[in-house]
Amino acid sequence: MARKAKNRAGAVAVASHTAPTAGRQNPYLRIFKSNVYVRDHDRSLPFYVDQLGFCVVADSRFEFGRWVAIAPPDGSAILALIAPRRGTENYKLIGRTTNIAFIAEDINATFELWRSRGVKFLRPPQPQLWGGTFATFADIDGNVFELLGSDEMSREIEAQRRAANERSESERRVAQELEIAKQVQARLFPQTAPALKTLDYAGVCIQARHVGGDYYDFLSFGPDRLGLVLGDISGKGIAAALLMANLQANFRSQLALAGDCPETFLRTVNQTFFDNSVESAYSTVFFAEYCDEARRMRYSNCGHLPGLLLRADGRVEELASTGTVLGLFRNWDGHMGDCALEPGDVLALYTDGVTEACDAQHEEFGQKRLLAALKRRKKLGAKAMVDAVLDEVQQYSAGEQEDDITLIVAKCVG
């Protein structure tokens, strides 16, 4: 995206140094696991899974043997079941007191449930001088565990469970709202493409998050005139998505002005976008108006990446910036370019998510690779070109997608 200009109020951003937070001094830490030595994994697992209600979180084989991890229903701790070879020191640890204790919200209810499942209790729940209740039980290898309960601990467990449920519900609502926002934004992209005799065109946006700030559109200006719009909103996520919807509404509400005077059209869109957005909001935009009968295109590049015009004879023209970005200044300053298209000519409009996609060595895909990808597929239709090029970009990039990827291809046909 183009470098951001100074904001409307003329304010200057100042970097500040803050003291390290407690979170940085005390990074997250928890007990990972406790070892429990058993004679046979397959024989022991039913006890922990079926009788105690634990779940298996890992079951892998390494050079030293099989490693199985199990966790109680709340997942707060992990027991590693290890089956050592006979004759080793660890084998001698099978069938001893593990010094591992479980805390139950209702120890009596847990005792009755586990006993009904066949768990062998060495000592039933008994009140203790310290105010809690204590029991012991053993697994099928004789490993002894403790089961504890107390009113104070039960209250703490219940508070933790409520907090966990609230977090889970909050996360569920956020995920649901993001999914709805994704579906709503998907409807903002063009759902139909007006048919033209001399232009085959298509566009796709692949968002990095649920919603994003890339925008493309196909605007009908009449029976034989089409508007191609591609924009990149400043910022990411929900804020950028809201600005994208704002910009799209501005473009579509001002269609009546586009035909006679595209410059006036862009000035009006810019002023409305400026008035309805915060000071730092702006968008780079490439706007083109194509006349089907004359095969002529008028365009304005508003601070966006250069459009690529691949001529049928092999020449490449870059349609560079002709005006300022939209939304940053009250008055838009720019002009329209003009060019004729011949059969076989291909126009490609794209956002920086295409050219700045990086491989494992952090090398960007770049404009040269984009041009090469387009040239290799010039004989394809517009939709097939878009799909193939974006597939190549995604194959090239490594790891998680960092930015929205948007591409429009328009091909002049005979």
CATH number at residue 57: 3.10.180.10
- Tell me how many domains the chain contains: 2
The answer on 110 and 208 residing in a single domain is no
The answer on 274 and 143 residing in a single domain is no
Q: Tell me, yes or no, whether 351 lies in a domain.
A: yes
Residue with tokens 């956020």: 174
- Distance, CA of 310 to chain centre: 33
The answer on 139 and 193 residing in a single domain is no
Q: Tell me, yes or no, whether 87 lies in a domain.
A: yes
The answer on 199 and 121 residing in a single domain is no
CA gap 262, 226 in Å, rounded: 12
The answer on 373 and 272 residing in a single domain is yes
Question: pTM of the full predicted structure?
Answer: 0.61
The answer on 214 and 74 residing in a single domain is no
pLDDT digit string (tens) for the chain, length 414 residues: 443 443 333 332 233 333 344 444 556 566 678 899 999 999 999 999 999 999 998 898 877 788 899 988 776 778 999 999 999 999 999 999 999 988 888 889 999 999 999 999 999 999 988 778 999 999 999 999 999 887 776 666 667 777 777 887 888 888 777 777 777 767 777 777 788 999 999 999 888 777 677 889 998 888 888 999 999 988 777 878 888 888 888 888 887 666 667 888 899 999 999 998 888 889 999 999 999 999 999 999 999 999 999 999 999 999 999 999 999 999 999 999 999 999 999 999 999 999 999 998 889 999 999 999 999 999 999 999 999 999 999 999 877 788 889 999 999 997
Beta strands in 248-315, from DSSP E residues, in sequence order: 283-291, 296-302, 307-310
State the CATH number of the domain containing residue 267: 3.60.40.10
For the chain, give percent helix, strand, coil, nearest 5.
30, 30, 40
Handedness of CA 338, 339, 341, 347 (dihedral sign): negative
Contact 27, 39 (CB under 8 A): no
Both tokens of residue 404?
């929205």
The answer on 347 and 227 residing in a single domain is yes
Domain containing residue 218: 189-412
